[in-house]
């Protein structure tokens, strides 16, 4: 397993989502924390330089990957932030390895994929990956960003996005895992103080997923960010950074 480590101080672990990696998702976040924290960014199977046998992914596996990177990079309980599929991994770590987690931040996550809409979404996403790479990328942009964010890209920016090298070869395994998620048996075991952040205009992982996490995690705090899609914050992470810092620094 590959992971990045920056900075010095108490541990902060940042876990990317489906199709992302340590640098694409959190490259513009690290500097906000690395002056006072050791920031650890693991790459899940299918992303970055992490390599494995290519077998089916499970929640247990990605949780163990996050836990292993955490133990290898820092000592003591850490603050753990997961985004999208990374939030699934982070929640599983907090539930099954409570000694590792001081505070937990779950961004645009979800509790389970068993409902009709979610199953339909993940199966459609996977089929597009298999049949038409350009349509897959268009679908990912249209559901991953809000309308306002897409307009900010402009015609040329959107055209350029179709020509880049994304997605990574391992994304199919991550999408398949996303369609099989069911954290409901684990969530009541989470004891770490938890902040749940959902995005009101999220068409990829609707905000209802964050509400489900909040309802199942005792004592958690829910923040719903208006006028934001799933990945809008990539362009300007300052709002999420401020929410995270306020929560992590609370006594």
Active site residues: 84, 202, 230
CA distance linking residue 4 with residue 23, whole number of Å: 9
Phi and psi at 126, nearest 5°, equal -65, -40
Token couple for 116: 């009709």
- List the one residue out of 120, 108, 11, 29 whose CA is nearest residue 66: 11
Following DSSP, what letter does each residue of 41-91 receive, concatenated? EEPPTTSTT-----PPP-HHHHHHHHHHHHHHH--S-EEEEEETHHHHHHH
Q: 3-state secondary structure string, 86-142?
A: HHHHHHHHHHHCHHHEEEEEEECCCCECCCHHHHHHHHHHHHHHHHCHHHHHHHHHH
């Amino acid at each position: 397993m590959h992971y990045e480590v920056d900075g010095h101080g108490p541990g902060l672990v940042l876990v990317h989502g489906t199709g992302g990696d340590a640098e694409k998702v959190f490259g513009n976040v690290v500097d906000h924390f690395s002056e006072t924290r050791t920031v650890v960014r693991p790459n899940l199977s299918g992303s970055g330089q992490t390599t494995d046998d290519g077998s089916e992914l499970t929640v247990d596996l990605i949780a163990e990957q996050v836990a292993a990177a955490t133990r290898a990079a820092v000592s003591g309980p850490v603050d753990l932030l997961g985004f999208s599929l990374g939030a699934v991994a982070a929640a599983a770590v907090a539930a099954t390895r409570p000694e590792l987690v001081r505070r937990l931040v779950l961004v645009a996550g979800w509790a389970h994929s068993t409902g009709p809409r979610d199953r339909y979404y993940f199966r459609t996403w996977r089929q597009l990956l298999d049949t038409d790479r350009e349509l897959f990328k268009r679908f990912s942009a249209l559901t991953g960003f809000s309308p306002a964010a897409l307009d900010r890209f402009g015609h040329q920016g959107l055209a350029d996005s179709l020509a880049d090298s994304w997605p990574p070869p391992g994304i199919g395994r991550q999408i398949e895992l996303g369609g099989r998620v069911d954290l409901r048996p684990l969530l009541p075991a989470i004891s770490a103080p938890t902040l749940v952040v959902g995005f009101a205009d999220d068409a990829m992982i609707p905000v209802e997923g964050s509400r489900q996490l909040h309802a199942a995690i005792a004592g958690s705090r829910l923040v719903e960010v208006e006028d934001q899609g799933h990945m809008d914050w990539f362009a300007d992470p300052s709002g999420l950074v401020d929410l995270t810092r306020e929560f992590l620094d609370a006594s």
